[in-house]
Amino acid sequence: MTRMISQSDLRLLQVHSDIQLTTLLTDIAQTYKSTKQQSSVDILNTWANSYWQENWQLHSFAYYQDDKLICLAPFFIEKSKFFPFIKTLHLVGQGEAEYAEVALEYLDVFIKRGYEKTVYPLIIKEINKLNFDLCVVKAVFKDSHIAKILPHIRGTLTQQHYAQYKVDKVHWQFEQLSKNTRSRINRCKNQLTNLSAIVRWLNDEEYDNAWCLLKKHHQSRWQNKGKNGAFAAPEFNEFHKALREKNSGTIAMSAVFIGEQPIAIHYYLVSNDTYHFYQSGWDQQNYAKLSPGLYLHYWSIINCPTKYYDFMMGGINNSYKAKFNADARAMISITVVKSPVKLFFSKVCNKLNRSLFSRFIRK
């Protein structure tokens, strides 16, 4: 008979240094022999090197049974530089400014299987001890540990609902797609064949040039809509440059070529059994009548070297990602407001600052 795990059997370690946290994340990947976890460690370390701010403070928790690490809850608190100095609790890997957001998904608290019922109350207790006004956690699975923990944190909780769209290549077939989607893919395939197009995966040496072209096409599309686009932020580009240079195994790129020129590029984050579709760009100026992005998804699914092809998070209604007969898994973004009055004053102050700044610029 298995002995019940008592909270008194566990020892808490408060983690306040980045070196400590990196060591613990690496220990988890090695102890539980998870290549997926190791990939996450590499990406989180790269994120921290690109985005970490002086006004951010680590408040992470690790729990041990004897000398064995069985839980790691990686949090930090961001303190606003402006009155009324809102303090926001984030998971490590999120919390950067929205204009520069990498938008990492599927983050969570690590808990060894079988310890959930024992550890949940301990984490809830420690989070409730922290001094923060707002907790924001984005793009996590609805059945994740963090999604089960946050409803028990003091404050007012709100949720936004999304879905992950992931293709299992073992069971996926082109014939399963709708007639309209098959028709669009075949039409684009014929058009590309007439243009002598080639579709292939890129090699490491091609990544930098392909990134620049992807950035150009992506920015052009969003700037035409009056928006900056993600690639405008130096931190965003620094993060992905570091992945290409130091951890090239964590990314992949596919492209449609006409002659020597890529006209559509897809960019992926890679884990041990999954290609995660992250970003794309295509030449709308010269190939507006084609649908190279749609066809590139089809080609990349067929030629993906891993078991899963992940479109990542999308809306739950009318997402183009659902057209590929992907399996949908519920995701949510969660906000917990502990200090509604302080948050209200923050929004008022931000609005006044923007108004005064715009008047100053007009003068």
Structural domains of the chain in order of their starting residue, each with its CATH number = 7-155+338-362 (3.40.630), 166-330 (3.40.630.30)
Q: Mean pLDDT across the stretch 102-128? A: 95
Say what the pLDDT of residue 112 is.
93
Say what the pLDDT of residue 14 is.
96
Question: What letters, b where the CB count within 10 A reaches 16 and e where it falls short, cover 224-235?
Answer: eeeeebbbebee
Say what the pLDDT of residue 92 is.
96
Q: Of 96, 127, 28, nearest to 119 (Cα)?
A: 127
Quick: pLDDT tens for 37-73.
656 888 898 899 899 998 999 999 999 999 999 999 9
Q: Taking 80 as the threshold, does the pLDDT of residue 88 lie above it?
A: yes
How far is it, in rounded angstroms, from Cα 69 to Cα 26? 11
**Judging by DSSP bridges, how do beta strands 10-15 and 134-141 pair with one another?**
unpaired
Starting at the edge strand that comes first in sequence, how are the strands of the sheet with 68-73 ordered?
Answer: 10-15, 60-65, 68-73, 110-111
Q: Taking 90 as the threshold, does the pLDDT of residue 296 lie above it?
A: yes
Q: Residue 250 in contact with residue 280, Cβ under 8 Å? A: no
How far is it, in rounded angstroms, from Cα 46 to Cα 195? 40
How far is it, in rounded angstroms, from Cα 335 to Cα 88? 10
Quick: pLDDT tens for 119-172.
999 999 999 999 999 999 999 999 999 999 999 999 999 999 999 999 999 999
Banded pLDDT at 357 (limits 50, 70, 90) = low
Q: What angle do CA 90, 92, 98 make, to 5 degrees?
A: 60
**Judging by DSSP bridges, how do beta strands 134-141 and 327-337 pair with one another?**
antiparallel
Say what the pLDDT of residue 111 is.
94
Q: Hunting for tokens 């946050």 — which residue is that? A: 150
HSE-CB at 226 with a 13 A cutoff on CA atoms is 0
Say what the pLDDT of residue 8 is.
83
Q: Of how many residues is the chain composed?
A: 363
| Percent of the chain surpassing pLDDT 90 | 72
Question: And the tokens for 115?
Answer: 């310890």
Return phi, psi of residue 34, to 5°.
-110, 110
Q: Mean pLDDT across the stretch 226-238? A: 87
Q: Residue 343 in contact with residue 86, Cβ under 8 Å? A: yes
How far is it, in rounded angstroms, from Cα 313 to Cα 329? 9
DSSP 217: H
Banded pLDDT at 220 (limits 50, 70, 90) = confident
| CA end-to-end distance (rounded Å), the chain | 78
Say what the pLDDT of residue 2 is.
42
